[in-house]
Amino acid sequence: MSLRHVLLVYLGTGAASGYDIIKGFQHTYGYLWNASFQQIYRDLGKLHSDGLIDCDIVENAPRPPRKVYRLNPEGYAAMQKWLSTPIKPPHLNSEFLVKLSSVHLLDADQFMQEFQQYRQAYQQSLDDLFRMQAVFQSLPPNVLEKFEGIYLTLTHGISQIQCWLEWAKQVEVFLQKQKWRETTAEDLQLFTEALQLNQPET
């Protein structure tokens, strides 16, 4: 999956300008797919040059005219092709987890500071998602149920962040103890041998 697929799906619900899409990402797809303004405009340009979306110039006085993008038949077919293709199970890549597993090689105080900043960012994201949840819940039930797929992605994001913040409490206790400083050569050998003996067969 790539950003272009997300944009095709987004435009599948209706025409939108680049600014509309950026704001929509912040309020809907932001917890599904992170993308910068530059990436969104770049991929919109590629989709247009590939003939998958059309672009109309709409007057927006007194502001400059807006470019409004919409799916054309080729783009709709590409969107449907992606939607009908089974996705592969995700693979986790986390720089933070790599650092945590290598904490014995790092400056403990520096990593603790980075961890606290990381946790604050997660808390801010959770606060933002709770605000969006309130918006969804303010909709009439007969309207909300028609967009429950989007709402479920929101509640998934909330549960994921809540789980991370709960796990972060254990991380903080571990970092404060700094037990890795007491690791001996014998500890390392025992740990390494245990891992090697329990490697799954390929």
Q: Could you tell me the two tokens for 53?
A: 């979306």
What would the mean pLDDT of 194-201 be, rounded to a whole number? 76
Residue 37: predicted pLDDT: 86
Distance CA 202, CA 141 (A): 50
Three-state SS sequence of 22-50: HHHHHHCHHHCCCCCHHHHHHHHHHHHHC
Residue-wise pLDDT tens digits, 139-195: 999 999 998 988 898 898 899 999 999 999 999 999 999 988 888 989 888 988 888
- The number of angstroms, rounded, from the C-alpha of 135 to the middle of its chain's C-alpha atoms is 20
pLDDT tens digits, 59-118? 888 888 889 999 999 999 999 999 999 988 877 788 999 999 999 888 888 999 999 999
What predicted TM-score, i.e. pTM, was given to this entire model? Answer: 0.72
Q: What pLDDT band is residue 202 in, cutting at 50, 70 and 90? A: low
For 16-48, write each residue's pLDDT tens digit: 998 888 887 776 666 677 788 899 999 999 999
